[in-house]
Copies of this chain bind each other. A is one copy, B any other.
Amino acid sequence: MSTRRILALSGGVGGAKLCLGLQEALAPGQLQVIANTADDFNHLGLRICPDIDTLLYTLSGLSDPERGWGRAGESWTVLESLGELGGDTWFQLGDKDLATHLYRTHQLDQGGTLTEVTQALAQQMGVTARIFPMSDSPVATRVFSDEGKLPFQEYFVARRCEPRVTDFEFEGLASAGVSARLARAMADQTPDLVIVCPSNPFVSIDPILGVPGMRSLLDALQVPVVAVSPIVSGMAIKGPAAKMMEELGMPVTASGVAQHYGQQHPGLLDAFVIDESDATLVADCESTGVEVHVMPTVMRSLGDKQALADRLIALCATGTAD
């Protein structure tokens, strides 16, 4: 078990897998995660934070590994009853999952911040990593597409990512800020390495990095920043990243991701990790000005997750600092 400290930037499923590997590989409390909240939305009066919940369920062992989202042993009584009453059922709300949303919504109504509520949930679920929402202010992704401007969950769940995307907008991002608790944690418990998880660059990582103040806090750490490509062999392991790249006219490759980060977040990355199946792309990726590491990045088993985590942690010593 490493005594290193890691700060990870994460979206939902793909990021959460790596975070689980990191949590297992590090001493308790040595993993800090900044979670994307731009997917968050209000549904049936509930505040739903899909990426935070995926992180909570994955890191606590409560997640359903078969289905890939939500909680294991889930039941659907409320949703079925709601359907019988003529209520909205397009968003799959399991009974156990619903308890999380009820708890969160109530605590927010009582004046708690999303950071406080998230850390209370993490503690109750036995998560040892410290999960921070990217901001306590609501941010809402809108997807510009050939079907017009869609709220993210409508694009993602109701329309199953079928519309062709042209751009994204993050409502509320310009006026959001990093929570005092996260800023203090970054300053007081400086990580040895920042990892940009293999999450969707457009709708998970870009909004995190777009929170006013986030980039300068990361720069001030003066530690290596390494991103793991979510694109492997021209495909996204999970989610619409590859489809989005194609629709945006970008090369659907790990180097396409490296170029995107280089253009959108110049000077951020010190290193870029690509899968061993993409070894031919090293030079392409290096041309964006980063050191490139090739390793197995596909995480099927817990062993895969821990192995990738171990290899990334090893970069703490060898990574190129600013």
Give A contacts to B, CB under 8 Å. 44-46, 75, 77-82, 84-88, 95-96, 98-100, 102-103, 105-106, 109, 120-121, 124-125
**Nearest CB on B from A199, distance (A):** 26
A75 to B79, CA, bound (A): 13
If over half of A's interface residues share one DSSP class (helix, strand or loop), that class is named, otherwise mixed; here it is: helix
Q: Which residue of B lies closest to A88 (CB)?
A: B106
A88 to B121, CA, bound (A): 14
The answer, among B45, B77, B78, B95, for a CB contact under 8 Å with A105, is B45
- Which of B75, B86, B87, B99 is close to A82, meaning CB atoms less than 8 Å apart? B99
Contact: B75 with A106, CB < 8 Å?
no
Query: A87's closest neighbor in chain B, by CB?
Result: B103
In the bound complex, do residue B124 and residue A86 qualify as a contact, i.e. CB atoms below 8 Å apart? Answer: yes
Residue in B45, B78, B86, B109 whose beta carbon sits within 8 Å of that of A78 in the complex: B78
A45 and B106 in contact (CB under 8 A), knowing A84-B124, A120-B86? yes
Q: Which residues of B contact A105 (CB under 8 A)?
A: 44-45
Query: Which 5 A-B pairs have CB atoms at the shortest separation, nearest pair first?
Result: A81-B99, A77-B95, A82-B99, A81-B96, A87-B103
CB closest residue in chain B, given A98: B78
Determine the chain B residues whose CB is within 8 A of the CB of A87 once the complex forms: 99, 102-103, 106
A78 touches B106 (CB 8 A): no
Nearest B residue (CB) for A84: B124
